[in-house]
Amino acid sequence: MVVSVGHGVAEIARAVATQARALAYVNGTQFTSAPLEGLAADLVSVAPNGLTRALFLTSGSEAVEAAVKLALQYWVERGEPRKTRVIVRRPAYHGNTLAALSLGARESYRKYFGDWMQSPPRIAGPTCYRCPLEKTYPSCKVACADELDRAIDALGEENVAAFLAEPVFGASGAAAVPPPEYWPKIREICNRRSILWIADEVLSGMGRTGRWFAVDHYGVSPDVLAAGKGISGGYAPLSAVLARGEIVETIARAGHDFEHHQTYSQTPVICAAGRATIRVLRSKRLVERAARMGAVLLEALEPVKRLDAVGDVRGIGLLAGIEFVADRATKKPFPRRRRFCERVAEAAFARGLLVWPQGGDADGTDGDSILLAPPFTVTRAEIKEIAHRLEEAIRATEVAGAKA
């Protein structure tokens, strides 16, 4: 998921080393630098339409928190300080810091932190395999998007600052892809109700889905976007917040800075890594390759669909999710105490395959799934091997469970 361009890319390593020798650090609240200016221009050039301002940070969790803070400060500077509520979805995962964790919906992560966890308003997410509204696409007419309108009505439009969600589900929702009508409908609601749409593309962005950003598949743009993981190919800790110019300019016209200052924000070395990664993605056409190889991956996973414990296989680009069930007919999940997804991950690891296990997708507690996210450099032969080893791992876990 992170090292999307592959290990040992000399051009990126060279860019980082060259920058470290020339200028390793300046404080991003006081100084700009050539790598910072260059990365901002590079990222804006591939960003969804209208996102013309960039801020660079060091983790996905921080990017999400900064994106939310930017939305909140924007409404204050506009003279609408009551707009403080942020609507999120279930399932959801937005990071591990306290505010980002509060915005997520994975109870197994939240349960340790008690009163520190906030309870933001939540709406049903577009998880068609396990629809929380018990509807079926397309006859549902994407009713899950209408949930946002109803949530705004309940809270009062004058109190809602933003809607935060992943364009394609990642660490919760296991690569579930919303219907094509979903995000245009959300964009229309946000425009009509005067709230900001924040897209969490920390996992799905930077080419992972076969487009530079997952929202590009839907032909609409958010107001604010958080990016991370593959933005530096894993060669430096880097994340970003992208925003519409009007949001940033509103704060500037009020005579204020954006209130988010970190020691290592926007430092030259991490920005050099980001610039070099974007150059590699472009020169080797790796985003386009992720789209082509994504189709190969989903085709290779066809035999996995037939396994007894597999309820659904889904994904887009080089992001695939496999959801496990105790009963295929009823979609009944395994109880969390079985740790089915962790046991599949352990069996896969024993066979030389890395997968990301996820628990709680069915109802926040029960449910098991895994994510696959090969690098964009993956070959057809490697994809075939991935599918073969995964099938073996699932079969072994099924057998072990039957004997238990």
- Domain 286-403 is in which class? alpha beta
The confidence score (pLDDT) of residue 403 equals 58
DSSP class per residue in 154-177: HH-GGGEEEEEE-SS-BTTBTT--
- So where are the chain's domains? 10-283, 286-403
What is the CATH T-level fold of the domain 10-283, as seen in this structure? Aspartate Aminotransferase; domain 2 (3.40.640)
Q: Predicted confidence band at 400 (pLDDT cuts at 50, 70, 90)? A: confident
- Examine the pLDDT at 202 and tell me if it is beyond 60: yes
How high is the pLDDT of residue 399? Answer: 87
**167: how many CB neighbours lie within 10 A of its CB?**
29
User: What is the rounded CA–CA span in Å between residue 262 and residue 247?
Assistant: 20
Tens digits of residue pLDDT in 266-293: 999 999 999 999 999 999 999 999 999 9
Mean pLDDT of 206-234: 98
Other C-beta atoms closer than 10 Å to the C-beta of 70 total 25
Model pLDDT, residue 46? 98
Model's pTM, two decimal places?
0.96
Q: What is the spatial distance between Cα 225 and Cα 44, in angstroms, rounded to a whole number?
A: 11
Which neighbouring-strand residues pair with 372? Answer: 320
